[in-house]
Amino acid sequence: MNDPWVRQGEIAAFIGLGSNQGAVEANLSGAVSALSRLEGVKLASCSALYYTEPQGVRDQPWFGNQVVLLRCDYIVWGAKALLRRMLRLEQEMGRVRQRRWGQRTIDLDLLLFGEQEARDPELVLPHPRMRERAFVLVPLLEIEPEMHLPDGERLADCLGRLSYSLEGDLIRQKDTDSIVKRC
């Protein structure tokens, strides 16, 4: 395997986290802690917490967002297994899926799993909308400033094409549902 994100039997998994219900900071911290306690998983890096405008459904509270880098034992974890465990963790933390882009106690998105690419009903890698979301790209680039997607596209170039602003820990972005600028 010639994947730069695989080394010493571990593969890098980048997870996007979001919350806008209840105790947002505690929800995010609890999710990071639960992910880091999984067997065969090490927390390698965690971005700062950013507060972002909701996209799609605008009449809801702002989100707290972060990105974490996990080092997953390549024998124990595949992308689908990790995604399934993340979805179970969302349920355990009280997530109820009522409407797309609606309020949630916790949202966990598998953004990247090494350089793997997947397109099936259960899993799409890289995450299909990450190139359009400043609330994903800003914290991801904080962790890995020179990051490239498996197709070679620089994430900094993707972020540069978005209409967004960053003021301290606040990210504002024009609604990606109505103005989508793809890389």
Annotation marks residue 109 as catalytic: yes
Contact 66, 139 (CB under 8 A): yes
Judged by phi (left if over 0) then psi (alpha if -120 to 50, else beta), residue 8 lies in left
Cβ atoms within 10 A of the Cβ of 8, count?
7
Annotation marks residue 99 as catalytic: no
Q: Which of 109, 120, 157, 169 is catalytic?
A: 109
Segments of the chain assigned E as strands: 6-7, 10-19, 41-46, 50-52, 63-73, 107-113, 118-119, 124-125, 164-167, 170-173
For the CA atoms of 75, 76, 78, 81, the dihedral, rounded to the nearest 10 degrees, stands at 160
Q: Which of 37, 58, 95, 172 is catalytic?
A: 95
Q: Which of 58, 99, 107, 169 is catalytic?
A: 107
Q: Which of 104, 133, 154, 175 is catalytic?
A: 104
- Give the span between the Cα atoms of 154 and 140, in whole angstroms: 12
Contact 71, 41 (CB under 8 A): yes
Annotation marks residue 154 as catalytic: no
Annotation marks residue 133 as catalytic: no
- Which of the residues are catalytic? 95, 104, 107, 109
